[in-house]
Amino acid sequence: MKKTIMITALLIASLSCFAAGTITVSGSAEVSAAPDMASFSLTASFTETTTKEAMDRTSAMINEAINILESEYGLAEKDITTSYIGVSPEYTYEDGNRVQTGQSASQSLEITIKNLDDIGPIYGRLSELDGITLSSVSLSSTKMAEALKAARIGAVKDAREKADTYAGAAGVMIGSVERISDSSSSYVPMFRLEAAAAMDMAGNSGATYRAGDVTARAEVSITYNLE
């Protein structure tokens, strides 16, 4: 009796799946775009006795960096934006007691460079400034939206080809789309900056780099009705 009930239950479940008349497949595609922009952040930080002294020194260094970017490399004002300004007290411990020793000030800039040939020279030039730290350089492309659109179209085509193959093997036809889910993404490589030890003819230090394409990847899952 138990065997009969179990077999009947499995048969009903199987018929329910078949009656649904759907097939779900996944598809993926990648499209690359050549990078045409790069960005990184610059931070100046100094600790002095008073807040004013720390902020004045930090602002002076930030202004020097801005002057270098604008006058030496021709960056526009819109390509240099302030992303952070902050101050905080500095402490040390003496005989178990916390003692304030000064004030720390920090200011950060976000820098966008549209001439990729300038990355090495700019990075090397700014790294020479006192109290300056630089983030890694990331790539981007103004063609990224187009690349992602093309990747999504390719992923849908890939899924449809799989669905046609499975349906043909099963002797059925693919019908309308019931559901689509998307998990697209993009991969933005970092510039690999080598040691900034090389000197150009003018005696300025620079940094060499290696860069890869910006890649858009689309992944979709599509459920089709069967006819």
Give the CATH number for residue 103. 3.30.70.2970
Residue 94 lies in a domain: yes
Determine, yes or no, domain membership for 96: yes
Domain annotation covers residue 62: yes
Helices (H), 119-222: 119-127, 144-170
**Residue 77 in 3-state DSSP?**
helix
List residues bridging with 26 in a β-sheet.
Answer: 221
Confidence band for 9, pLDDT divided at 50, 70 and 90: very low
Sign of the alpha-carbon dihedral angle for 142, 143, 149, 151: negative
212 domain-assigned: no
Considering the domain boundaries, does residue 101 fall inside one?
Answer: yes
Within-domain flag for 134: yes
Q: Is 12's pLDDT higher than 90?
A: no
The pTM of the full predicted model, rounded to 2 decimals, is: 0.67
Q: By the 8 A CB rule, do 107 and 134 touch?
A: no
The domain tally of the chain equals 1
pLDDT tens profile 57-107: 999 999 999 999 999 999 999 999 999 999 999 988 888 888 888 999 999
- Tell the burial category of 41 from Cβ atoms under 10 Å away from its Cβ (0-12, 13-18, 19+): middle
Structural domain including 118 reads 37-140
